[in-house]
Amino acid sequence: MDFYDLKYGNKSLGVFHPEPQTVEFWEGLSRGTLLLRSCSDCARAWHPLQITCLACRTPLSGWVESAGHGTVWSFSTVEDALGSSEPGSRHVGIIRLSEDVYFFGGIDLKDEEISIGMVVAFSHQSDTLKWKVV
């Protein structure tokens, strides 16, 4: 499991590891599986960061595998001139999964023009949250 070095300018503010309750999610991601939190009481699916079910207040302990597809709910771009070390534009957006859970992530495009409502699928190619157009 990688660690995340939080930067403020060129200075490190400390090394962070994932929230303990999300470790299983990141391990699933490295296996190519997108996991969601699942409420054992009301069966609702939640974002992996969620600790308790907001519908019935039950502590979340279970996981359910997502179908891995959704639509672009919104998006924006990251330009290289604004702090990114990568050349050109990258797309980042909010994806609404078919399970009605919203994720933030990168969106990989080839020749497509991105639009809201576009159907995307979880990308297995990396251990960061990325989506590809299908």
Partner 1 sequence: MNKSQRPVIADYYEHRVTLEKNSTSALQLGAEAASSLLKRHEIESREIDALFTGRSPQGYMALQYNQVLLNELGLQPEISSEVTMHGAGALGSIGLASELIKSGSITNALCVTNEANALWSDPGQANAAWEEEPWFEGSVRPTTPALYGQLAMRAVHEGIVSRDSAAGVAVAAREWGRVHPQAWAYGREPLSKEAVASSRIIAQPFRLLDCAPWYKGGIGTAVFVCSQQEAEQRGVDYVVLRGWGSKSSYERVTQQLNARPRSSKRPADLFRTGAGDATDKALALSGATMDNISLVQTSAPFSHILLLFLIEMGVIDSRDASEWIDSGELGTGGTRAVNTSGGYLGHGQVPQGLYLLTETIDQLKGKAKGRQVDGVNMGLVHGHGGIAACHTSLVLSN
Least Å distance, CB 105 to partner 1, is 6
Write the CA distances from 8 to 48, 55, 84, 106, 128, integer angstroms: 26, 37, 14, 22, 21
For residues 63 and 44, give the distance between their C-alpha atoms in angstroms, rounded to a whole number.
Answer: 11
Least Å distance, CB 118 to partner 1, is 12
Binding of partner 1 by 22 (CB under 8 A)? yes
For residues 54 and 32, give the distance between their C-alpha atoms in angstroms, rounded to a whole number.
Answer: 28
The kind and range of the H/E element at 32 are none
Q: Binding partner 1 by CB under 8 A: which of 20, 31, 82, 88?
A: 82
Binding of partner 1 by 98 (CB under 8 A)? no
Q: How many residues bind partner 1 (CB under 8 A)?
A: 48
Write the CA distances from 109 to 8, 16, 69, integer angstroms: 30, 30, 15
Least Å distance, CB 79 to partner 1, is 6
Binding of partner 1 by 40 (CB under 8 A)? no
Least Å distance, CB 32 to partner 1, is 17
For residues 34 and 86, give the distance between their C-alpha atoms in angstroms, rounded to a whole number.
Answer: 26
Binding region for partner 1 (CB under 8 A): 4, 6-9, 11, 13, 16, 18-19, 22, 26, 44, 46-50, 54-55, 73-79, 81-84, 89-90, 92-94, 96, 100-106, 116, 128-130
